[in-house]
Amino acid sequence: MKTRVFVTLKGGVLDPQGKAIHHALEGLGFSGINDVRAGKLIELDLADGTSDEDIDAMCSKLLANTVIENYRIEKIG
């Protein structure tokens, strides 16, 4: 069972990497970029029947630091 976990910085948290990417895109001549936020995509290949609770615990215990990050779980079968 393939599952994707998207980890993103919480709204109010400054994202220095996003800012640098933003700056670099503008340096390449792209315009109209309002904001850039960088995050992580973690792909898990899980045994069938892995419970939602376990997947959520994987996220909250390790994959995301919930002090500064949010996570979203997407099952792709």
Partner 1 sequence: MKSAVITFPGSNCDRDMAVALEQASGVKPVMLWHRETEIPAGIDLIAVPGGFSYGDYLRSGAMASRSPIMAAVKEAAARGTYVLGVCNGFQVLTESGLLPGALMRNAGIHFVCRDVALTVENNQSAFTSLYQQGEQVVFPVAHHDGNYVADDAVLDRLEGEGRVAFRYAESVNGSARNIAGVLSDKSNVLGMMPHPERAVEAAHGNVDGVRMFKGLVEGLMATA
Q: Which residues bind partner 1 (CB under 8 A)?
A: 13-14, 16-17, 19-20, 61-63, 65, 67-68
Closest distance of CB 30 from partner 1, Å: 19
For the chain, the maximum distance between any two Cα atoms, rounded to a whole number of angstroms, is 48
Closest distance of CB 40 from partner 1, Å: 8
DSSP 57: H
**Rounded CA separation 55/59 (Å):** 6
DSSP 17-31: HHHHHHHHHHHTT--
CB nearer to partner 1: pick between 16 and 49: 16
CB nearer to partner 1: pick between 62 and 76: 62
